Amino acid sequence: MLNVLTSFYGLIPVTIAQSLIVAFVVLGVMLPFRILNFPDLTSEGAFPLGGCVCGALITVGVNPFLACFIALLCGFAAGCTTAFIHLRFKINTLLAGILVMTMLYSINLRILGRTNIPLFTYDTVFTLTAGASANLPWVKILIVGILIALVVAAMLYFFMSEKGTSMRAVGASPDMAEAQGINVGTATIIGVGVASALSATGGSIMVQTQGFADVNMGFGILINGLAALIIGEAITGRQTILRQVAAPVVGSLAYYQLISFCLTLGLAPADLKFATGAFVLLMLALPSLRKSSGGTQIREKIRE
Amino acid sequence: MTDMLSVKDGTKIFYRGTQDERRALDKLNVTLSPGDFCVVIGSNGAGKSSFLNAVSGKLPLDSGRIFIDGQDVTRLNTHRRAQFIARVFQDPMIGTAPTMTIGENMLLAELRGKPRGFTYGLTAARRARYSEQLSELNLGLEKRLDMQVGLLSGGQRQSLSLVMAVSTRPKLLLLDEHTAALDPRTAKLVMDTTVRAVEELNLTTLMVTHNMEHAIKYGNRIIMMDAGKVLVEIGAEEKRGITVADLVDRFHTKSDIIALQGA
């Protein structure tokens, strides 16, 4: 047991660094699901897209910061495409996401030229900022942590602004939003676009920390993101916009520590996706299980 | 004086060219002068909702034109027309954003049809103004600006919807059976608030209702619709002496006759 704890303890910094990167994706999962009420799967394709674009650009000598920014723009375009397909052709949001995600696989392969390219020998955002100590976990935590804090602060401010309030209204009640003069289509496209831009940014940072870009990277990242989001919301709650925006980061931090603990306890990595899926299923099923077992919650509502 | 609302030959046909073809609006002509409070009645399928949806922009016309305060809005979609129109829906769940707070809902309404910026939304000045506007309802909502609207009762939500609708002094107020889903006591409360606001602000109002007593009691004009047209129009003079029985009498409409022949 002591053995397990020491190896878990040793992994904590690396896991924190990883979870902060994935927190970008979790934010990108949260925004469509919770704010726009637009269940979206584009993240699954936007995450490797960001990684591949960033990796390919770095290998041809583009400045890593610029490479990240271009990856972000590509992710934005992918998200906008999904939302557009849904709005214009009335195709179910999940199906629209799967279509874009599937097509992105080919695009990613084209961008990278092959399935995998190493980036160890190139300068990254981390080596440019921290020099020789770039590979220390605490340096990564500091850099990514500052980035994610800025993103969360920006999102928090935006969702309390006049424009952001109207974007939230689109998810809360589209009919009402339209009647208040809000362009539901534009708000949806921009919102889903920003979400995928976040996922792509996560991908672009990920390739720079792991030292290679791979078209298959992040397989299942969406379900991981969803699991992290659910855990985060269980911890922070969703009553205010601050809690809703903080939940992805808190959830990501908690979820990856949990995974790391399970792995050190001896959970086979092969079983990980099953365990994650089962966990998400359980959390999603919980409300309806509760409802059928007792009526206390419903009664309380009627009393109000 | 220009008409506040004018619908000219408004036509909307569903399932055109099929067996199920149905004329929801059939060369409908309606004009409202500024300050008119017009009640729209008619049996189910008469075209009342289509009329309201055509005015709001939700239902684009096949032919005909719609003018609001002299401006042709026929080609503007719902969110563009929102600068002129405020609407209270029948379903209290639709008219407000349930997962957002009372203050945020008021903010959304205040900026209806206006440009929205990146500046902070619920400023102290706005909160004070919203509290004042809500206090007129006497429901205590003014003290609960940070409460989620989903936690309010149907009547409270509908009252909030109404305040949101009138707070911007819209050129046109659309009330779509807005008390139908409420219990009689709450319905009266919401109706009283409606009348007070409409009179105080001299709003041009279009109210759809199935409640004949409301139709007689409120407003200065009645329009009775049938088969997508105005069947009977009762002006201010005639409306004063009218009774529920008179109205029901006039309800024997073309659709009834068709229905009887079909039977």
Of all residues in chain B, the percent with pLDDT exceeding 90 is: 65
Q: Which of A160, A169, A176 sits opposite B120 (nearest CB)?
A: A160
When mean pLDDT is compared over A40-54, A259-273, B41-55, the highest value belongs to A40-54
Of all residues in chain A, the percent with pLDDT exceeding 70 is: 95
Q: Tens digit of pLDDT for each residue in A90-126?
A: 999 999 999 999 999 999 999 999 999 999 999 999 9
Q: B135 in a domain, yes or no? A: no
Q: What is the pLDDT of residue B213?
A: 86
Q: B117 in a domain, yes or no? A: no
In the predicted model, is pLDDT for residue A259 greater than 70?
A: yes
Q: What is the pLDDT of residue B178?
A: 92
- B258: how many CB neighbours lie within 10 A of its CB? 11
Among A53-62, A65-74, A139-148, B40-49, which stretch is predicted with the lowest mean pLDDT?
B40-49
pLDDT level of residue B263 (50, 70, 90 thresholds): very low
Answer positive or negative: Cα dihedral of B92, B95, B99, B102.
negative
Asked if the C-beta of A7 comes within 8 angstroms of chain B's C-beta atoms, the answer is: no
Q: Tens digit of pLDDT for each residue in A191-224?
A: 999 999 999 999 999 999 999 999 999 888 999 9
Q: What is the pLDDT of residue A300?
A: 36
Q: Tens digit of pLDDT for each residue in B83-139?
A: 999 999 988 888 999 999 999 999 999 999 899 999 999 999 999 999 999 998 888
To test the contact with chain B by mutation, choose from A33, A165, A175, A190 the residue with the greatest count of B C-beta atoms within 10 A, namely A165
Q: B198 in a domain, yes or no? A: yes
Give the CATH number, domain containing residue B171.
3.40.50.300
Answer positive or negative: Cα dihedral of B86, B81, B116, B154.
positive
In the predicted model, is pLDDT for residue B150 greater than 50?
A: yes
pLDDT level of residue B245 (50, 70, 90 thresholds): confident
pLDDT level of residue A2 (50, 70, 90 thresholds): confident
Q: What is the pLDDT of residue B94?
A: 87
Longest alpha-carbon distance in chain B: 64
Nearest Cα of chain A lies from the Cα of B147 at a distance, in angstroms, of 10
Of A173, A164, A180, A199, nearest to A82 by C-alpha is A199
- Tell me how far apart the alpha carbons of residues B59 and B52 are, in angstroms, rounded to a whole number: 9
The string over A190-199, giving b where at least 16 C-beta atoms fall within 10 Å of a residue's C-beta and e elsewhere, is bbbbbbbbbb
Helix (H/G/I), strand (E/B), else coil: B67: strand
Calculate mean pLDDT across residues B147-153.
Answer: 93
Q: B119 in a domain, yes or no? A: no
Q: What is the pLDDT of residue B253?
A: 57
pLDDT level of residue A302 (50, 70, 90 thresholds): very low
**How far is C-alpha B21 from the geometric centre of its chain's CA atoms?**
27
Q: What is the pLDDT of residue A293?
A: 60
Answer positive or negative: Cα dihedral of B253, B258, B259, B263.
positive
pLDDT level of residue B252 (50, 70, 90 thresholds): low
To test the contact with chain A by mutation, choose from B59, B76, B88, B104 the residue with the greatest count of A C-beta atoms within 10 A, namely B104
Q: What is the pLDDT of residue B1?
A: 61
Asked if the C-beta of A115 comes within 8 angstroms of chain B's C-beta atoms, the answer is: no
pLDDT level of residue A142 (50, 70, 90 thresholds): very high
Q: What is the pTM of this model?
A: 0.89
Q: What is the pLDDT of residue A295?
A: 45
Q: Tens digit of pLDDT for each residue in B152-208?
A: 999 999 999 999 999 899 999 999 999 998 888 889 989 999 999 999 999 999 999
Cβ contact, residue pair A161, B97, below 8 Å:
no
Q: Which domain holds residue B218?
A: 5-101+153-262
Could you give the number of structural domains in chain B?
A: 1
Q: Is the ipTM of this complex over 0.85?
A: yes
Measured between beta carbons, the chain B residues lying within 8 angstroms of A157 are 120
Cβ contact, residue pair A160, B98, below 8 Å:
no
The two beta strands, B5-14 and B22-32, are antiparallel
- Tell me how far apart the alpha carbons of residues A53 and A61 are, in angstroms, rounded to a whole number: 13
Q: What is the pLDDT of residue A51?
A: 97
In the predicted model, is pLDDT for residue A239 greater than 80?
A: yes
Q: B144 in a domain, yes or no? A: no
Residue pair A182/A169 in contact by the 8 Å Cβ criterion: yes
pLDDT level of residue A299 (50, 70, 90 thresholds): very low
Q: What is the pLDDT of residue A301?
A: 38
Nearest Cα of chain A lies from the Cα of B252 at a distance, in angstroms, of 35
Nearest Cα of chain A lies from the Cα of B236 at a distance, in angstroms, of 30
- Tell me how far apart the alpha carbons of residues A128 and A66 are, in angstroms, rounded to a whole number: 12
In the predicted model, is pLDDT for residue A65 greater than 60?
A: yes
Q: What is the pLDDT of residue B256?
A: 57
Q: Across all residues in chain A, what is the average pLDDT?
A: 92
Q: Tens digit of pLDDT for each residue in A161-175?
A: 999 999 999 999 999
Q: Which domains does chain A have, with CATH numbers?
A: 2-267 (1.10.3470), 273-304 (no CATH)
Q: Which of A157, A158, A166 sits opposite B108 (nearest CB)?
A: A166
Q: B232 in a domain, yes or no? A: yes
Q: B148 in a domain, yes or no? A: no
Sole residue written with tokens 């922009």: B57
Q: B112 in a domain, yes or no? A: no
In the predicted model, is pLDDT for residue A85 greater than 80?
A: yes
Q: Tens digit of pLDDT for each residue in A15-32?
A: 999 999 999 999 999 999
In the predicted model, is pLDDT for residue B260 greater than 60?
A: no
